[in-house]
């Protein structure tokens, strides 16, 4: 490690702010410290939870369930829509936001396993699964930008409003293009987000910092999980 790159990142709060524009300096530092990753873990989970929680507190749930029924079956009859609504209690939807931190932990654990696997045989790499799991929360920090924008947009909405779930992901293509929730491309476009590209870049710096891989190779490796997910989502859409 280059000493001059590690000494000036002195605490996890500073690291949480500088991960956006000095990621390599942050990763050089956290490679040699313990327990700093709790900070991005808490930030990412809280900000990840808030937009969905606010959304379900504002949206017209009858309208939302109706839209979900049409998404499931665009040609659904009124009777089929009513059956769908009966099988989808509105109260259950309101609590889905609480599952988001659990989902984030599972997703980041899978990504950490991937990073552990692809860097396993590198001679410079001394990080194990838990190190990469910790790094995954720093890599996910751009999602906080998406979450904060979403919270601002949701705060401007009137109660019982009829608005797409895309408002919770304002950096997604679905929100930017105003894609209808019933469109077959809604899921695919919702998954393509500007903050994801930012996270890929940060992940590239992480791999490059902790291994002997070139930055170009590191960037390709960091992009593969997103490319796989987007490819699957595209195939499902068509």
**What's the pLDDT band for 6 if we cut at 50, 70, 90?**
very low
Report pLDDT for 3. Answer: 39
Integer Cα distance of 181 and 191 in angstroms: 13
DSSP conformation letters of 147-173: HHHHHHHHHTSPTTB---GGGG-TTBH
Q: What is the pTM of this model?
A: 0.91
Whole-number CA gyration radius for the chain: 20
Is the pLDDT at 218 greater than 60, yes or no? yes
The sign of the dihedral angle between the CA atoms of 166, 170, 174, 178 is positive
pLDDT higher than 90, residue 135: yes
Query: What is each CA distance from 90 to 133, 134, 148, 155, in whole angstroms?
Result: 35, 36, 26, 22
Residue 22 CA to residue 41 CA, distance in Å, equals 19
Rounded Cα–Cα distance for residues 204 and 104 (Å): 20
- In a 13 Å sphere around the CA of 33, the CA atoms on its Cβ side amount to 18
Query: What's the pLDDT score for residue 170?
Result: 97
Mean pLDDT of 37-61: 94
Per-residue confidence band for 5, with pLDDT thresholds at 50, 70 and 90: very low
| pLDDT tens, residue by residue, 68-94 | 888 877 777 788 777 877 777 666 776
């Amino acid at each position: 490690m280059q000493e001059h790159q590690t000494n000036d990142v002195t605490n996890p709060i500073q690291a949480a702010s500088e991960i956006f524009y000095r990621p390599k300096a942050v990763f050089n530092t956290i490679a040699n410290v313990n327990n700093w990753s709790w900070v991005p873990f808490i930030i990412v989970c809280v900000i990840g939870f808030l937009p969905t929680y606010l959304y379900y507190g504002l949206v017209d749930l009858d309208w939302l369930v109706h839209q979900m029924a049409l998404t499931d079956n665009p040609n659904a009859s009124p009777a089929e829509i009513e059956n769908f609504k009966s099988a989808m209690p509105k109260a259950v939807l309101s609590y889905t936001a609480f599952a988001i931190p659990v989902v984030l932990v599972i997703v980041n654990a899978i990504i950490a396993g991937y990073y552990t696997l692809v860097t396993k045989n590198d001679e410079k790499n001394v990080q194990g699964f838990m190190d990469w799991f910790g790094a995954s929360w720093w890599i996910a920090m751009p999602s906080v930008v998406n979450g904060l924008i979403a919270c601002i947009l949701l705060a401007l909405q009137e109660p019982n409003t009829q608005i797409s779930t895309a408002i919770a992901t304002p950096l997604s293509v679905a929100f930017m293009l105003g894609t209808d929730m019933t469109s077959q491309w809604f899921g695919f476009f919702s998954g393509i987000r500007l903050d994801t590209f930012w996270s890929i870049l940060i992940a590239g710096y992480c791999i490059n910092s902790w291994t002997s891989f070139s930055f170009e190779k590191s960037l390709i490796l960091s992009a593969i999980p997103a490319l796989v997910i987007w490819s699957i989502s595209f195939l499902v859409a068509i």
